[in-house]
Structure 1
Amino acid sequence: MALRLTQAWGERAIDSQLVLGRSEGAMRSEWPALSYSSLAVRGLATARFETLWMILRLPGEIRRQRPDILFCAGNTYTVVAVAMKLLLGNDCPPIVAKVSNDLTRRDLVGPARWGYRWWLRLQGRFIDQFVGMASPMSSEIANAMQLPASAVAIINDPAITVADLSQTARTRALRYGAPQGRRYIAVGRLVAQKNFALLIRAFAAMAGPQDCLTILGDGPERAPLTRLIAHLGMTGQVHMPGHIGPVMEQLRESDVFVLSSDYEGVPAVIIEALAVGLVIVATDCSVSMASLLEDGALGELVPRRSTWCLEQAMRAAAVRISDAGRARRQASRFTVEHAADAYAALFARTVADVRKAPNPKNNSRVADAMS
């Protein structure tokens, strides 16, 4: 999202700088023309302590660039944003933070859940403006962070471009009517949150001999997932090729998209799957998921962590025909073009509001977005 927005802001002559905690990554080669600033030091691998490294290095970058806005593109990094407020005080620019994940976190139990709720309330005290990625998130954010409604803006998740929508119309019909089995696809980091083990078990329980499942992405759970696939005898039907380029190209070659996560915000890949016109099966992992799928009209919603329910929904999806036109209309609400303009307007309002406050920040550049 940060890459797409930064590119769109550049096209609108908005002065933005993308600040990275480390310089490596599969997507770097896909966006070579963007204006980057890396906090990494040559020869030092920062991946294992990236967040701490950003906290140590970002204050100097802020003092050097003097941005008007610090944009935190996902709440994974709100810890960095709060640290900037504490370290820089009145020299810290106003912060706009996008809430990119579910705040209920039903996966947490006991002290961990209490600690997470405390952390959300702390964010509400330090961050100037929050952004939710779909309308149902507004009350969730305000309640969790004990904020007035005015402190939460809604800007639909910039998951696709207008060009993406026009391209899907010419390619989607190719798969229907093919004699081979159904192609199921899932996308995400191979981490516990995505619960791909649940998906693999459900697929193994319902798959026909010609069906296949592709999981795009990489991460620390690759080895245990590979062992699970072998244990279930699905090595020839479940594939994990890693990160192999633009996701939508892979979606166009598939029939059913499956999301098995324990928790999410507004998954961009759901929007991409809607744009392509795929049949969708998803766990009820977000306050926004029911509205994204228009209460079942655009896909099947199942309880989290239920192998049987996911299996049954995937089985039914094999013979379901997607309402591609309705799905594309839903997806068209989540374009980068709309979001880039909406964020630029929000940044300007936030800067103006802070400068009206009794102790305004001393900023000198307009709409500089950093993540």
Structure 2
Amino acid sequence: MFDVASTPGDIGQRAQQHLARGSNRTQRAPLRVLTFLNSFAPGGVERIAARLHAAWTIAGVDAQMVVADASIAPPIALQALSQVHPKPRGRGVTRFAALLRGIPAIIARQRPDVLFCAGNTYTALAVALKLTLGPACPPIVVKISNDLVRPDMPLPLRYFYRRWLRIQGRHLDHFVGMAPAMRGEIARLVGVPQSRISVIADPALADADLRRLAAARDAVVRARPGRHYVAVGRLAPQKNFALLLEAFARIAKPDDTLRILGEGPERRALEAQAARLGIAGSVYMPGHVDPLDAWLAEADAFVLSSDYEGVPAVVIEALAAGLPIIATDCCCSMADLLGHGTLGQLVPTGDAAALAQAMMTLAPDSGATIAARRTAAATFTIESATDKYLGLMRTLAATRAAETAPDTPRNDPIPSPAA
């Protein structure tokens, strides 16, 4: 079970004094936060960034969001959303260039207190903004949304990736892990002290989502013959659905089914693999599906076959439904997420035999286990995360204001506050 707390870090006595007496800037306007994204193409990072943006707006924050391509509608209605260029930028390099050219002007105009980097995908842009703007760049808060170890990378590439993580540590201000186990991984690989790391549970759900997912599963009578497995994710190498198909083929009986919900570049290869394995008639890939309520309610088990993840939001949704879970040990947080075996089964990554064995030996759940899964999921709500993120951002904004105030000597060290 998680014990999640936000630790904003070393504020400093002068920063506390500055915050207490209030600056002209904070008296005139609320906290200003700017989030940047490529687009709202289906993805957990973008969906959660949208949730946070909406929650910050409701909390009275001047929250702005800028995207390179606004042609895809956000998952929820958002205020203060703009496209950085009049024409959508639909490719990786053009999106990056458009955001890097456009965001400095937005910063000069809107004067945000903090920039929010919603996931690892956007750290290159965050570092580029720091180098471009220098001292004029606001503090940047980076949410670590994916695995930092990256065992999927060849060793030479992994060496350069580790160097890149250290560059991030030198230039970006504060890092947020989505679960306690990520704290040590961030400190070790990014090379930053604990004072620059917070842990805030990933806000994958709202309180209303918890109730809805549980009610949907409780209302379904699962009386069909066979076992029915469900998996969710982009059809991409990271998710390793090829491994899942191989495992399913080893144990599938005539009435068993596997549903893989998602879309991506590996669709044709996966369909061809299912045909070769003789399970095409039992495997269904309906594409991207949202919401997941009915699919999770009707399944007998949720299966995650990924090679690497951060804290996968879909596992949290499965916990909220109370669904049995089988997952690969694809990140440092997965053991905690599954209660070290009490809430689900954990198997090694890339091991089809172990995955098949876990799928085959699925045991009936007790009411206590279902309740424990739902309690674990309740940690990961937008209601809990909103105030923790805002507390961290206000701390960073106050510290920056104190450091740049005319009456604050810039060369003096700022002592830590009393315990």
| Shorter-chain TM-score above 0.5 | yes
% identical equivalent positions:
48
Deviation for aligned residue 1:232? 1.7
Is this contact kept in 1: 2:343–2:373, CA < 8 A?
yes
The SS at the match of 2:215 is: coil
Q: Is 2:364 the counterpart of 1:320?
A: yes
1:184 to 211, 224, 229: 229
1:224 aligned partner:
269
Relative to structure 2, which stretch is displaced further, 209-218 or 280-289? 209-218
Moved more, 331-340 or 346-355: 346-355
Alignment check: 8 A CA contact 1:22 1:46 kept: no
Q: 1:61 to 1:262 in 2, by over 3 A?
A: same
- Aligned counterparts of 2:237 and 2:330: Cα–Cα separation in 1: 13
Q: How many angstroms does 1:278 deviate by?
A: 0.5
What stretches of structure 1 of length at least 5 have no aligned partner?
361-371
- Taking the aligned partners of 1:44 and 1:357, their CA distance within structure 2 comes to 37
Structure 2 residue 173 is matched with structure 1 residue 128? yes
CA–CA distance in 2 between the matches of 1:49 and 1:226?
32
- Aligned with 1:237 (options 282, 299, 308): 282
Answering whether residue 371 of structure 2 is matched by residue 352 of structure 1, we say: no
CA distance in 2 between partners of 1:133 and 1:5 (Å): 14
Distance 2:51 2:88 in 1: 28
Q: Distance in 2 between the 1:263 and 1:332 partners?
A: 24
Question: Partners of 1:203 and 1:359 in 2: how far apart?
Answer: 62
Does 2:2 match 1:2?
Answer: no
**Alignment partner, residue 4 of structure 2:** none
Q: CA 1:293 to 1:176, structure 2 compared with 1: closer, same or farther past 3 Å?
A: farther
CA-CA distance at 1:47 after TM superposition: 5.4
Matched residues in 1 for 2:279 and 2:97: separation? 40
1:367 alignment partner in structure 2: none
Quick check: 1:55–1:80 contact (8 Å CA) kept in 2? yes
Question: In the alignment, which of 359, 376, 380 is matched to residue 330 of structure 1?
Answer: 376
String of CA shifts for 1:308-365, please: whole Å, max 9, x gaps.
0111111112x332611000110111111000111011100111122233689xxxxx
Query: How far apart are the structure 1 equivalents of 2:55 and 2:404?
Result: 34
Asked if residue 289 in structure 1 is aligned to residue 312 in structure 2, the reply is no
Aligned residue identity for 1:341: D
User: Which residue pairs with 2:65 in the alignment?
Assistant: 18
Residue aligning to 1:343: 389
Quick check: 209-218 or 36-45, which moved more?
36-45
Q: Matched residues in 1 for 2:326 and 2:249: separation?
A: 16
Q: Which of the residues 208, 213, 219 maps onto 1:168?
A: 213
Q: Distance in 1 between matches of 2:393 and 2:249?
A: 48
Q: 1:157 to 1:295 in 2, by over 3 A?
A: same
List per-residue Cα deviations over 1:181-239 (Å, max 9, x = no partner): 22211111111111111111111111121111111111111221121122222222111
1:197 aligns with 2:279: no
Q: TM-score, normalised by structure 1?
A: 0.91
State the secondary structure of the residue aligned to 2:150: coil
Q: How many residues align?
A: 357
- Alpha-carbon displacement from aligned partner over 1:292-312 (angstroms, at most 9, x marks no partner): 101100000000000101111
Cα distance in structure 2, aligned partners of 1:153 and 1:43: 34
Query: Which whole-Å deviations, capped at 9, do the CAs of 1:70-91 have from their partners, x for residues lacking one?
Result: 0011111101100000111111
| Partner SS for 2:230 | strand
Which structure is larger by alpha-carbon Rg, 1 or 2? 2
> Which ranges of structure 2 fall in alignment gaps of 5 or more residues?
1-47, 407-419
Q: Secondary structure at the match of 1:252?
A: helix
Change (3 A) 1:30 1:206: same
How far off is 1:22 after superposition? Answer: 1.4
Q: Is the 8 A contact 2:50 2:78 kept in 1?
A: no
Q: Tell me if structure 2 keeps the 8 A contact 1:99–1:131.
A: yes
Query: Which deviates further from its counterpart, 50-59 or 108-117?
Result: 50-59
Q: TM-score, normalising length from structure 2?
A: 0.81
Aligned pairs for 1:41-190 within 5 A = 41-42=86-87, 45-46=90-91, 49-175=94-220, 177-190=222-235
* Stretch of structure 1 that moved more, 68-77 or 35-44: 35-44
Distance 1:135-1:58 versus aligned 2 partners, 3 A rule: same
1:43 deviates by 6.3
User: Residue 89 of structure 2 contacts residue 98 of structure 2 at CA under 8 Å; is this kept in 1?
Assistant: no
* Distance across 2 between alignment mates of 1:315 and 1:342: 41
